[in-house]
A and B are shown apart, each in its own frame.
Chain A
């Protein structure tokens, strides 16, 4: 066993007592201790990227100080250790999303690359002129643009299932858009701009009734929800390490083995081949067929430790805690005069997107920043969502299990300051 696999998670988190101890959890995230503009940092931009627990930082440091070596290449001890740690991380990801087999886990840079891989590899071979790709009106640009590129190349058509004023998918409309021409459904599990949790189980069922495979964008789901790709029965699932308390530059594409085996490689190079001559190259088996070149080894190891950390806290506790936080935040923000929440779905993750009457989100963001409060302002890489709600931008507070009620109170106080500056 490599030391990396034994990465200790703080003992105090171990016995699964009922409620989450937020103070203990916060202690695991060194970055949260700092002050910004002289104020304690209130980090509410977790949907953009989450902070990393000490265990992840230590694991990556340990890789570089004790184990750094390439994977699947050398016969020497270090390479052996690095390979074992790398493949152990793959197994951790498999268990995290309950995939059937570890070879169904492809390491990529992030959700964006995972979707592009499917668009290029599955799309290039399975999509023809006149075919359709079906997405929803709440997708992140990274689950729109790769399909647009594909559709343009192939003469295929991108269809978009509409949402209601609460930001919920209209399932009936979605179903009507599933036709004999639909080659793939690509839908987000949780919306980054609205917080909506999509009815993914039903989406998959309805698509499968028509033999249409489904890709789920789990970038905003993996940090908040327990994911079981076998129960979902989705064909592809994607998420990003950096939004899931792991490092940047590492992400996951899950694909059912039968798809991955049938799909052509995404990129060519080392590692993805089993033999090369100038006449003919035989591709490696999955997952290696899709992992050309030296992978992000340290990032992969860090991701594995991040998932260990999440498992130690436990999704039951995370879901319960975040739900309570969401209710508290929704109530608190609703008390701010002139504030309108954008995204009020019944099923929501702890994401609070809002506009303040007469004050541009960019100004809100600047003023909150001086209070030490980090929120995202802008279109959140979801311009069609902004258009749907008739706004050019929103401010977004995205919460995770290390956020507190006190931080929401600080946000509300900050918003009152914003209104004071603007004299409203």
Chain B
């Protein structure tokens, strides 16, 4: 990283010493100023909550300054802002963040919103019984951000919506549940009859998948050939060991849980790359659950291509045109830039690449 110029420091310091503290992590004045404003706002909110008064006494003023200084220092040494403030907005939700659980990313927010739009548009809610009970499954929950946002975006259109989520780390499941309660309490989410359920599970565990199918089948009284889950989503660990050392930001490397980012070595896949193991499993799960929509987040366009290819191979048998695969970029509803291709040939098929930015997700749609 290039060194910051002295004059920049001097300018920051003249405005506020806090700004100078934030400058090394933020790298430029504009983002340092934004972060300082958010930290300030956080301090004011915290204090007005605890004291409940509008007028600030000199003591609270001093306490505020002390807290502000402490938070800026923490941020200044590289702690992610979301851990410093304890939260990150995600769509219309407020997601609590804690060390040990991955921070929700804006790219994830973008594809989740895009998916919700598609699910609304492509589901005939008038069809008897069919659409009212959309079942969503979020694997590799983390903070629960994906499942919760989908619920909040879809609950109006699907009165009998249900969301299930699983994570192998109980810290994540605990946080996801807290986020459920937190957002329900703020009225951002409605959770009648426990339509949202977050549980511990290792998605590689065959017994877990078997019980999921049994449970899903029983819900309808008899085993059916239709989908067990309508929407399957996952943002699994997808960074390679090399990519972790080389491409991640320092505050990611130093402060976020590596187990959420880099898949553990699994000998299971013969020819594939180790960072793709989760997709192999997710596609198996998808085949069993017969979901109408699936979105898996990926690390870049290359990985997107590999996952799309795996998906095409996996569903070759089901018949032409039944399964459609798309690749979404970071901002799927934005106009692509000139140099960004809008389709790719994969296994002899022309696969659409939607939006603008890095390759970010693989979307798989199955006609029912």
The answer to whether A and B come from one shared complex is no
Binding site for B on A (CB under 8 A): none
Binding site for A on B (CB under 8 A): none
